[in-house]
């Protein structure tokens, strides 16, 4: 079987590694001409870390990210309200990692190129359209440098092309704009002194829904006795509704936009985290609207499916976007591996495996999208809020620790 993946992001690259493990031929088509370590910090939850460890990436992850030990909830003055153990400290068999998104993407890219060959990822190649017949999917491409159009055929196309997915737009042409929560996020990174355990994520709640988050993301910097701190300000500025403007991950912000909000967290200046110094450190500040979409009634059709943000963009409040993309990738490979040799290439069998994957992941990820919305507006006791989130997203410790492996070889053994 031959699979084309649109998008060499976190989900697309994990899918490439997983499908290759299942003995499937994969090419990843990436729109940008050079994959650079863009973005700031993200979190990988234990359910995703388990999958990456099973893909043989455990050592690389441990050398790159920080194994988060706790989430510490505070008031606007830094007074601690509630501490929640995370990852291995919470009893999971796998850690939670806080990690730079770009470093994670490069780590995955290196593994794909090493295992599948340099030609497995074609950069500067934008997927613009596709047609399907009973034998194959024909994918239309545009070379970003020359504008030249070309085509590739395969048994299957996976749209892992993120928030502004071209594959999703082609499958669901009448969908409206992204849905904005009304919250604007300001994000950046800065080197600072280590705080709390050195593996703590801080969530500080100010008045009117203003929230500040900070967590260290670099093991290399930790080894020098310092912290590379990822920080985020969540600022409610409008009523929720359809997004009118752009949602660009790389949009720069003027630090002056944050000064008013900083006043509210003034008590932090002499505290264990010097918040004004973090923000005023001179590093780039990125601005992004917190958006999602309502879950789709169906994801794909025929020989085409979706994965990650292309399938289910979600608010980052539960720190689950990258993790859900990784689990999608693993379930997709597991289901395709489970088809067995005889079924390869037959449209009915391909669609059967894709339907099983889509049904399983659509239900699970719709629950996460909803739980993130609930969490954003939650004002209950913090322990209840986080427990409810874990239950709603199926992330209870016993449930994950007891679940069977999603490695493709496990699917083959089950056939
Ligand atoms: C540049 C960038 C920076 C980001 N920074 C952050 C961040 O700081 N914090 C955070 O929480 N999340 C960030 N994200 C989003 C985060 O990576 C995802 O929410 C999550 O990891 C799910 O991954 P995904 O693979 O579904 O999508 P993504 O990681 O967004 O990957 C999608 C990939 O598809 C490519 N692509 C898009 N359209 C096409 C097309 N038509 N043809 C071919 N390729 C296409 C994109 O260039 C990208 O490489 C960022 C995404 C990008 C693209």
Q: 178 CA to middle of ligand 1, Å?
A: 15
Does residue 379 carry a pLDDT above 80?
A: no
Q: 384 falls in which pLDDT band (50, 70, 90)?
A: confident
CB atoms near residue 179 (< 10 Å): 18
Which of these, 82, 74, 83, 84, lies nearest to 268 by C-alpha position? 74
Instruction: Name the burial class of residue 405, with classes exposed (0-12), middle (13-18) and buried (19+) by CB atoms within 10 angstroms of its CB.
Output: middle
Residue ranges covered by each domain of the chain: 2-34+123-175+298-411, 36-101+177-292
Q: 246 falls in which pLDDT band (50, 70, 90)?
A: confident
292 C-beta closer than 6 A to ligand 1? no
282 contacts: CB under 8 Å, gap ≥ 6: none
Mean pLDDT computed over 387-396: 89
- Could you give the C-alpha distances from 93 to 323, 372, 403, in angstroms and in order? 16, 24, 11
- Could you give the C-alpha distances from 396 to 15, 320, 390, 406, in angstroms and in order? 25, 14, 6, 17
Cβ–Cβ under 8 Å, residues 164 and 128:
no
Instruction: Name the burial class of residue 355, with classes exposed (0-12), middle (13-18) and buried (19+) by CB atoms within 10 angstroms of its CB.
Output: middle
Q: What is the pLDDT of residue 270?
A: 61
- For every residue of 276-325, DSSP letters joined together read HHHHTTSS--EEEEEEE-PPPS---BTTEEE-GGGT----GGGS-HHHHH
Q: 5 falls in which pLDDT band (50, 70, 90)?
A: very high
Pocket probe mutation, ligand 1, options 6, 8, 9, max atoms within 8 Å of Cβ? 9
Q: Worst-scoring range by mean pLDDT, 34-38, 90-94, 305-309? A: 34-38
Return phi, psi of residue 284, to 5°. -60, 145
At 235-244, the pLDDT tens digits run 999 999 999 9
Q: Are strands 2-6 and 156-159 parallel, antiparallel or unpaired?
A: parallel
Quick one: what percent of the chain has pLDDT higher than 70?
96
285 C-beta closer than 6 A to ligand 1? no
The class level of CATH for 2-34+123-175+298-411 reads: alpha beta
Name the residue at shortest CA distance from atom 22 of ligand 1.
322
At 262-312, the pLDDT tens digits run 777 776 666 778 888 888 877 889 999 999 999 999 999 999 999 999 999
Could you give the CA distance from residue 349 to residue 230 in angstroms, rounded to a whole number? 45
Could you give the CA distance from residue 45 to residue 345 in angstroms, rounded to a whole number? 34
Mean pLDDT computed over 198-204: 94
- How many residues are listed for the chain in this entry? 415
Atom of ligand 1 nearest to the CA of 40: 8
Mean pLDDT computed over 73-82: 87
Q: What is the pLDDT of residue 115?
A: 98
Q: Are strands 179-193 and 286-292 parallel, antiparallel or unpaired?
A: antiparallel
Return phi, psi of residue 180, to 5°. -100, 135
Q: What is the pLDDT of residue 267?
A: 66
Could you give the CA distance from residue 335 to residue 331 in angstroms, rounded to a whole number? 6
Cβ–Cβ under 8 Å, residues 13 and 30:
no
Q: What is the pLDDT of residue 77?
A: 81
Quick one: what percent of the chain has pLDDT higher than 90?
73
pTM value? 0.96
309 C-beta closer than 6 A to ligand 1? yes
CB atoms near residue 266 (< 10 Å): 12
For the domain spanning 36-101+177-292, the CATH number is 3.30.9.30
Rg (CA), the chain: 21
Q: 27 CA to middle of ligand 1, Å?
A: 17
Q: What is the pLDDT of residue 411?
A: 78
Q: 9 CA to middle of ligand 1, Å?
A: 5
Please give the angle made by the CA atoms of 367, 295 and 131, to the nearest 5 degrees: 135
Atom of ligand 1 nearest to the CA of 324: 22
β-pair partners for 149? 142
- Could you give the C-alpha distances from 342 to 158, 319, 337, 346, in angstroms and in order? 22, 40, 11, 9
Cβ–Cβ under 8 Å, residues 236 and 209:
yes
What are the percentages of helix, strand and coil residues in the chain, rounded to 5? Answer: 40, 25, 35
The distance of Cα 151 from the centroid of its chain, to the nearest Å, equals 29
Q: What are the strands, taking DSSP E only, across 19-124?
A: 25-29, 41-44, 66-68, 70-74, 80-85, 96-100, 121-122
Q: 78 falls in which pLDDT band (50, 70, 90)?
A: confident
Mean pLDDT computed over 369-381: 86
26 contacts: CB under 8 Å, gap ≥ 6: 2, 3, 4, 5, 15, 16, 19, 20, 116, 120
Pocket probe mutation, ligand 1, options 7, 183, 250, 251, max atoms within 8 Å of Cβ? 7
The upper half-sphere exposure of residue 155, i.e. CA atoms within 13 Å in the direction of its Cβ, equals 18
Could you give the CA distance from residue 42 to residue 288 in angstroms, rounded to a whole number? 14
CB atoms near residue 205 (< 10 Å): 16
At 182-198, the pLDDT tens digits run 999 999 999 999 999 99
């Amino acid at each position: 079987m031959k699979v084309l993946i649109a998008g060499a992001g976190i989900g697309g690259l994990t899918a490439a590694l997983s499908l290759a493990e299942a003995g499937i031929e994969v090419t990843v088509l990436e729109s940008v001409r050079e994959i650079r370590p863009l973005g700031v910090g993200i979190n990988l939850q234990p359910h995703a870390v388990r999958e990456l460890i099973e893909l043989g990436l455990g050592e690389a992850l441990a050398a790159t990210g920080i194994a988060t030990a706790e989430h510490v909830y505070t008031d606007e003055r830094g007074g601690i309200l509630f501490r929640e153990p995370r990852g291995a400290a919470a009893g999971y068999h796998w850690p939670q990692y806080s990690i730079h998104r770009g470093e994670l993407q490069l780590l995955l890219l290196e593994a794909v190129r090493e295992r599948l060959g340099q030609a497995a990822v074609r950069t500067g190649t934008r997927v613009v359209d596709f047609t399907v017949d009973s034998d194959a999917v024909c994918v239309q491409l545009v070379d970003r440098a020359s504008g030249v159009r070309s085509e590739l055929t395969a048994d299957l196309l996976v749209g892992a092309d993120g928030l502004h997915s071209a594959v999703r737009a082609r499958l669901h042409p009448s969908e409206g704009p992204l849905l904005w929560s009304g919250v604007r996020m300001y994000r950046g990174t800065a080197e600072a002194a280590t705080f709390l355990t050195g593996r703590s994520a801080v969530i500080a709640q100010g008045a009117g829904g203003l929230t500040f988050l900070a967590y260290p993301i670099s093991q290399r910097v930790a080894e020098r006795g310092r912290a590379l701190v990822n920080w985020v300000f969540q600022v409610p500025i409008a009523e929720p509704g359809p997004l009118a403007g752009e949602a660009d991950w790389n949009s720069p912000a003027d630090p002056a936009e944050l000064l008013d909000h900083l006043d509210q967290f003034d008590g932090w200046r002499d505290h264990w985290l010097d918040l004004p110094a973090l923000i005023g450190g001179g590093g780039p500040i990125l601005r992004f609207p917190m958006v999602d979409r309502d879950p789709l009634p169906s994801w794909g059709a025929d020989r085409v499916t979706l994965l990650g943000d292309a399938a289910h963009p979600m608010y980052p409040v539960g720190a689950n976007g990258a993790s859900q993309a990784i689990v999608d990738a693993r379930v997709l490979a597991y289901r395709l591996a489970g088809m067995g040799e005889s079924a390869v290439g037959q449209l009915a069998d391909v669609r059967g495996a894709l339907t099983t994957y889509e049904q399983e992941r659509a239900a699970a990820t719709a629950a996460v999208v909803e739980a993130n919305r609930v969490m954003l507006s939650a004002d209950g006791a913090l322990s209840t809020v986080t427990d409810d989130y874990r239950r709603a997203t199926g992330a209870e410790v016993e449930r994950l620790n007891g679940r069977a492996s999603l490695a493709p070889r496990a699917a083959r053994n089950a056939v």
